[in-house]
Amino acid sequence: MVYLTDDEKRMLQGEAGKIPQICMQYLVEMCEIAGAERLVDLDATGDMHTPGNVFSAYYSFTLEDLEELAATGAQFKIPTFANKSPFPEEAPIHGWEHCNACYKQDKNCRQDDPAFHDMAMHEEFMRLYRKMGMLTSHSCANYLTMTYLPSIGQHCSWFESSQIPYCNAVLGARTNFDGTFATCFLGKAPYYGMHITENRYGTVLIKTERLIQTDLEWDVYGFAVGEAVACDVPVLTGTAKPTTSQLQKLNSAIHTGGSVAMYHIPGSTPEAPTIEWAFGGRKPKREVLIGERELKQAYETLNFHTTDVVDMVYLGCPHLNIVDLMRLARKLEGKKCRIPLWIMTNPWLYDAAKSMGYVKIFEDAGAYLMSGTCPAAMGAVPEGVRNLAVDSAKQAYYITGCYPDDDNRLQVCYGSTDDCIDAALTGKWHGEWR
């Protein structure tokens, strides 16, 4: 039985209108599934995929319903950001016009037609969302565009796997994997999981034989930890202090190898000044060693290719931050790529990169900075690409799932960013675990 306030009951009964009723019905069922006894009022930010009007087959609304709601002046109850779009025609993106890859079912579409890159399919939904207060950042890493980050202890409703541990572990705010129109519009979410203090304490102590300090090490390490702990809350020891870029890699990899919503790095993350604090004064349920064998095994799992000839390089999963873009520009300046190099960020940072001259450097090198979506979200790469080089464990893991047919199996070379840049310049893969 889910406890509801009087206002929540009135919404459930339809007194506030159709869409609030649908949203409340959805949240009540989510509470029942998750074992949550009540809803929690959100006091920070939300994140949702767009168009995002369909929660499931049973909880959806039409464009006409949304138009009617927006006409009343209704607003999202919390600052709400748009996650990446699965289709380039649905988001304000840059760069895709250069790539000669058609992602629509209509094979007659023109990639050089600017109209193709408009938000045609869901422009009306997006127009109404913006009218209701949505910030159309279109990113899987909205913490890069938020100038309004949640503070420690605040309740959020985020979506996208790499963002969840970032919110919980890095920022100390609280979210489950539950960002939808319903949570963002009503400003409420089921009260379970990472919203509850008791569930945020560490349960598994992670040790390592190697000082985890490079970007690649953090990525591989995160994937290995995720595989080892599944849904537990790991406390990571034996690592260097991570940079923002390394935290991005850790968060995306740890939620890919497993389903880790929260972790602690004593002395680095806000809820873990010490190991004792991380565990809430209790002993860990178990200890796990992520040694050289486990790291090498994770690296090999993410690397599956029978040739060293690379057809394409993709960087930016999750979306690259401005420092990453600066470093890439410095590495590519004055050089020429032999094979396509796609670099992904969000539309807001694309504009920043353009103003700083990075876009021109990339284009002069034969690379393209792109925004708004990614090949993993779309489930597609250009025709003829059979061997893709990436520097992201998450990308390596997910992109191949889009090609289950052995006759059309996409191969992946996985390694460091420098390995990938070398592949873009030479067309060959030289990466290895060191």
What Å distances lie between residue 220 and 76, 135, 258, 304, CA to CA? Answer: 38, 33, 13, 15
pLDDT at 117 (0 to 100): 42
Indicate if the pLDDT at residue 409 is higher than 90. no
Whole-angstrom distance, CA of residue 349 vs CA of residue 141: 11
Query: Structure tokens of 78?
Result: 């919390």
pLDDT at 104 (0 to 100): 41
Whole-angstrom distance, CA of residue 36 vs CA of residue 392: 34
Which residues are within 8 A (CB) of 105 and not within 5 positions of it... i.e. 6 or more apart? none
Indicate if the pLDDT at residue 415 is higher than 60. yes
Asked if residues 34 and 196 have their Cβ atoms less than 8 Å apart, the reply is no
Say which amino acid occupies 405. D
Taking CB atoms within 8 Å and a gap of at least 24, the contacts of 321-327 are 321/141, 321/144, 321/244, 321/245, 321/248, 321/345, 321/349, 322/144, 322/349, 322/352, 322/353, 323/244, 323/245, 324/245, 325/349, 325/353, 325/358, 325/369, 326/356, 326/358, 327/417
Which candidate, 191, 252, 141, 184, places its Cα nearest to that of 44?
184
pLDDT at 50 (0 to 100): 76
Query: Structure tokens of 50?
Result: 């767009």
pLDDT at 105 (0 to 100): 36
Whole-angstrom distance, CA of residue 329 vs CA of residue 362: 6
The region of weakest confidence among 100-109, 131-140, 270-279, 363-372 is 100-109
Whole-angstrom distance, CA of residue 331 vs CA of residue 334: 9
The region of weakest confidence among 5-9, 140-144, 173-177, 248-252 is 140-144
User: Considering the entire predicted model, what is its pTM?
Assistant: 0.92
pLDDT digits (tens, 9 = 90+) for 15-33: 999 999 999 999 999 999 9
Which candidate, 9, 26, 7, places its Cα nearest to that of 180?
26
The angle, 0 to 180 degrees and rounded to 10, between the axes of the packed helices 215-229 and 292-302 is 100
Say which amino acid occupies 415. G
Query: Structure tokens of 407?
Result: 């006759």
pLDDT at 332 (0 to 100): 98
Say if residue 234 is preceded by a cis peptide, omega within 30 of 0: no
Q: Please name the helix (run of DSSP H) or strand (run of DSSP E) that holds residue 64, with its range, or none.
A: helix 63-71
Indicate if the pLDDT at residue 230 is higher than 90. yes
Mean pLDDT calculated for residue range 301-325: 94
Rounded to the nearest 5°, which phi and psi values hold at 324? -60, -45
Query: Structure tokens of 213?
Result: 């300090």
Q: Please name the helix (run of DSSP H) or strand (run of DSSP E) that holds residue 312, with its range, or none.
A: strand 312-315
Task: Please give the domain boundaries of the chain with CATH numbers for all domains.
Answer: 6-197 (3.30.499), 201-300 (no CATH), 304-426 (3.30.499.10)
Whole-angstrom distance, CA of residue 123 vs CA of residue 130: 10
Rounded to the nearest 5°, which phi and psi values hold at 78? -130, 155
pLDDT at 96 (0 to 100): 61
Indicate if the pLDDT at residue 145 is higher than 80. no
pLDDT at 407 (0 to 100): 63
User: What share of the chain has pLDDT > 70, as a percent?
Assistant: 86
pLDDT at 49 (0 to 100): 82
Whole-angstrom distance, CA of residue 216 vs CA of residue 116: 37
For the chain, give the mean pLDDT. 89
Radius of gyration of the chain, Cα coordinates, nearest whole angstrom? 22
